[in-house]
Amino acid sequence: QYHLAQIDAHNEQLNAFLAVYREEALARAQAIDQKIASGQAGPLAGLVVGIKDLLCYESHGSQAGSQILNGFKSTFSATAVQRLLDADAIIIGRQNCDEFGMGSTNENSSFGSTLNFANTEHVAGGSSGGSAVAVQAGMCQVSLGTDTGGSIRMPAAFCGIMGLKPTYGRVSRWGLIAYASSFDSIGPMAHHVEDLALVLNCIEGQDGYDSTLTEAPSVAYQPKKRVAYIKEIVEHPSLQADIRDAFFARVEHLIASGIEVVSVDFPYIDQMLPTYYVLTTAEASSNLARFDGVKFGHRTENPKDLMDLYKKTREEGFGEEVKRRIMLGTFVLSADYYDAYYTKAQQVRRLIQERTMAILADADYIISPTTSSTAYRIGEKTLDPLQMYLGDLFTVQANVTGLPALSIPMGEDSNHLPMGFQVMGRPFDEAGLLNLAKTMQ
Ligand code: GLN
């Protein structure tokens, strides 16, 4: 009731939820109450969760923030969503996002922007912007977001909450509408470390539908922690001064609590975004080929022939940014340019992975600010896609390498906008990230 009241009070303005499952959520709450009374309730009994519009939920709409999936209802639930239900969580609704997860501010949603609850003249961040604002404004306790290049961590930082992108291969992608399959991951967003841990424990692990899942190795406990930050990141010209100051205040705090902090070089900073955007657009152009007006959602009216049906459906259904990325991705995969762009980016991806793992052989974590600035003003970056892409500079490393990364609130800047502190760790060391976050609170 509390969360529904928050939705009633704020959703019209903030535009965080695209659909609210009011009756269903209340009925489930009552049923779970009875289970609790009889001692049969699951580990998430009564936890109120919102899900990003990229996740499928049986018999409910999923549109990936797009008009091309208008009217689509899923015939099955994503593994992560099903596991929440099995653990007796309550799904309260689905949340606004950039179309197919392509964006950093939520301004690329075909349902309009989500506004930041800290200051409604500013963006929520993206692409899981609705999911972040829903937690920020108390409309649910936890959101399930997705992160291909920062889409959980960036809006978490912009909205002053926590967001965890798990190791690639930890959470099944079954039922996640694909953007870039070798980068996509599903993860929780919440106010509290404990909630992230509870939800991750519940959604992770094998399910037979995603062959990229790996059994998590147990991570050895190391009492003495060493943490590294990348010099090229903290010295980056785009980094806002008060974010830099707040970051180094946290570094001092870590040192005072007995953690060794070292600075390291990372020679591939300038290659990070090109690698990410070449590979993700390539994968997206292939993944989005399935939206052709035949199987899912929107279909154009009165096409002349089959080719016309494909063309008009896609012309009408996809937004500008999605079209831009399909064209970029098709270009880098085309016969004449494949080696120059796609193969080259795969090679650079390997170099970035090797250098990052070399740092993590010596340090337990790599820390940085989550973003170089606080939330932009609405419309500030929409005219220049390259400026928009630059905002992902600190977050894409975790996706290029598949490593787990967590964004933790780091106070507010001089305009009272939230800032985020990012911790990236070794494969499957989510527990280490969460423990570090707990000691920093
Ligand atoms: N902003 C990045 C992009 O537009 C990340 C998106 C995401 O993680 N889904 O690709």
Q: How far apart are alpha carbons 411 and 428 in whole angstroms? A: 28
Q: Are 95 and 48 in contact, with CB atoms under 8 Å apart? A: no
| Whole-number pLDDT of residue 397 | 98
Ramachandran region of residue 343, left (φ > 0), alpha (ψ -120 to 50) or beta?
Answer: alpha
C-alpha 136 to ligand 1 mean position (Å) = 20
Residues 6+ positions from 123 with CB-CB distance below 8 Å = 105, 106, 107, 113, 114, 115, 116, 129, 158, 375, 376, 377, 378, 380
Q: Please say whether the beta carbons of 210 and 79 come within 8 A.
A: yes
Q: What is the mean pLDDT of residues 259-266?
A: 97
Mean pLDDT, residues 398-412 taken together: 98
pLDDT of residue 441: 78
User: In the structure, which protein residues have their CB atom closer than 6 angstroms to any atom of ligand 1?
Assistant: 101-104, 127, 147-151, 179, 280, 392
Residue 219, pLDDT > 90, answer no
Q: For 289-306, what is the mean pLDDT?
A: 96
Q: Which of 74, 104, 151, 373 is catalytic?
A: 151
Q: What phi and psi, each to the nearest 5 degrees, are found at residue 18?
A: -90, -25
d(CA 303, ligand 1 centre) in Å: 33
Q: What percent of the chain has pLDDT over 90?
A: 96
Structure pTM? 0.97
Q: Span 178-194, mean pLDDT? A: 98
User: Distance (Å, rounded) from C-alpha 102 to C-alpha 345?
Assistant: 19
Mutate to test the pocket of ligand 1, among 100, 280, 326 (most ligand atoms within 8 A of CB): 280
Catalytic residue among 66, 127, 185, 285: 127
Tell me: pLDDT of 243 over 70: yes
Residue 205: both structure tokens together: 């692990």
| Fold annotation for 1-441 | Amidase signature (AS) enzymes (3.90.1300)
CA angle 152, 155, 158 (to 5 degrees): 145
User: Which percentage of the chain shows pLDDT scores above 70?
Assistant: 98
- Of 108, 392, 422, which is best to mutate to test ligand 1, by the most ligand atoms within 8 angstroms of its C-beta? 392
- What pLDDT does residue 421 have? 98
Residues 6+ apart with CB under 8 A from 256: none
pLDDT of 221 reads 61
CA-closest residue to ligand 1 atom 10: 102
From its phi and psi, is residue 45 left (phi > 0), alpha (psi between -120 and 50) or beta? beta
Q: Where are the beta strands (DSSP E) in 13-141?
A: 17-20, 48-52, 90-95
**CA–CA distance from 269 to each of 24, 44, 236, 275, 349 (Å)?**
47, 40, 9, 10, 12
Rounded distance between C-alpha atoms, residue 170 and residue 404, angstroms = 9
| Calpha distance 146→401 (Å, rounded) | 16
Q: Is 304 marked active-site? A: no
In the predicted structure, residue 220 carries a pLDDT above the cut 70: no
What are the pLDDT digits (tens) for 352-381? 999 999 999 999 999 999 999 999 999 999
pLDDT of residue 222: 66
Residue spans of the domains in the chain: they are 1-441
The Å distance, Cα 206 to ligand 1 centre, comes to: 26
- Ligand 1 centre to CA of 385 (Å) is 12
Q: Ligand 1 centroid to 105 CA: how many Å?
A: 9
Q: In angstroms, what CA-CA distances link 400 with 185, 277, 328, 367?
A: 12, 10, 18, 16
Give residue 218's pLDDT.
64
Angle in degrees, CA 431, 348, 389, rounded to 5: 75
Give me the amino acid identity at 179: Y
Å from CA of 264 to ligand 1 middle: 26
How far, in Å, is the centroid of ligand 1 from the Cα of 126? Answer: 7
**Each residue's pLDDT tens digit, 305-364:** 999 999 999 999 999 999 999 999 999 999 999 999 999 999 999 999 999 999 999 999
Could you tell me which residues come within 8 angstroms of residue 119 by beta carbon, excluding any fewer than 6 positions away?
375, 415, 416, 417
Examine the residue annotation and report whether 151 is marked as an active-site residue of this protein: yes
Looking at this predicted complex, what is its ipTM?
0.97
**136/21 Cα distance (integer angstroms):** 19
Query: Is-cis flag, bond preceding 257, omega within 30?
Result: no
Can 52 be counted among the known catalytic residues? Answer: yes
Give the residue-averaged pLDDT of 279-295.
97
pLDDT computed for residue 429 by the predictor? 95
pLDDT of residue 225: 87
Ligand 1 mean position, distance from CA 100 (Å): 9
pLDDT of residue 216: 74
Structure confidence at residue 440 (pLDDT): 87
147 Cα–ligand 1 center, Å: 7
